[in-house]
């Protein structure tokens, strides 16, 4: 059977339901925890002078992908749909909308809402304290920049700004507490001898 882009796309077609949130969270954590612990020595097939570039690039990409999956887990857990309507021109639903509100409305099994939309509407889904809102949104937007940059271009040099990674860590910690009732300890190790961390503990 000849494969076409459309036939391959259909292999992943699914209208996601609330019960899918745990799988999204697990796969998000697979990317985010890998980003935390990834080392230059993991890139055995690259010459030494490219290992740092590859490690940092991969870390940023994993953070961006993991962040998107984590937000989709949060939306699904809250009973919200992440699939777009099949026919937006006739649909009266306004994002974000719940699966209950979408009952009877055909949804597109191959299209989900974009990361920017998920971030913009997050305050409607997760109750964040006033001081947390800017911390969370700023950190998530940095993660989105990481994903977009690493998914589209390669630069031979990039100025390392530790505060960018610290902002994402703070955002994730706040989200875990508010959305999952978990305490997250995370450190995306980048500098020499910096200890990586990824651990979650259920809060009582």
**Mind listing the pLDDT tens digit for each residue in 15-49?**
999 999 999 999 999 999 999 999 999 999 999 99
Decide if 159 is inside a domain: yes
The answer to whether position 82 is within a domain reads yes
Q: Assess if residue 9 is contained within a domain.
A: no
Asked whether the beta carbons of 168 and 142 are under 8 A apart, the reply is: yes
Provide the domain limits for residue 56.
16-202
C-alpha 80/C-alpha 74 separation (Å) is 9
In a domain, 30, yes or no: yes
pTM of the model: 0.95
Whether 123 maps to a domain, the answer reads yes
Angle ∠(92,97,101) on CA atoms, nearest 5 = 70
Q: What is the mean pLDDT of residues 60-75?
A: 98
Res 96 pLDDT > 80: yes
102 lies in some domain = yes
State residue 130's pLDDT score: 85
Q: Is residue 8 part of a domain?
A: no
Count of structural domains, the chain: 1
């Amino acid at each position: 059977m000849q494969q076409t882009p459309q036939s391959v796309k259909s292999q992943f077609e699914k209208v996601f339901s609330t019960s899918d949130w745990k799988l999204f969270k697990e796969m998000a954590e697979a990317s985010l925890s890998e980003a935390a612990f990834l080392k230059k020595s993991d890139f055995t097939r690259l010459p030494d002078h490219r290992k740092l570039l590859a490690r940092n690039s991969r870390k940023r990409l994993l953070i961006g992908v993991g962040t998107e999956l984590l937000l989709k887990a949060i939306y699904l857990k809250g009973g919200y749909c992440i699939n777009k309507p099949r026919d937006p021109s006739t649909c009266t639903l306004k994002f974000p909308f719940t699966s209950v509100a979408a009952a009877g409305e055909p949804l597109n099994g191959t299209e989900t809402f974009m990361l920017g939309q998920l971030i913009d509407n997050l305050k409607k889904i997760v109750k964040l304290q006033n001081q947390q809102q800017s911390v969370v949104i700023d950190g998530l937007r940095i993660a989105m920049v990481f994903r977009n940059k690493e998914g589209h271009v390669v630069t031979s040099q990039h100025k390392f700004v530790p505060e960018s990674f610290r902002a994402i860590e703070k955002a994730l910690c706040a989200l875990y507490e508010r959305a999952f009732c978990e305490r997250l300890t995370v450190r995306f190790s980048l500098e020499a001898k910096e200890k990586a961390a990824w651990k979650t503990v259920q809060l009582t």
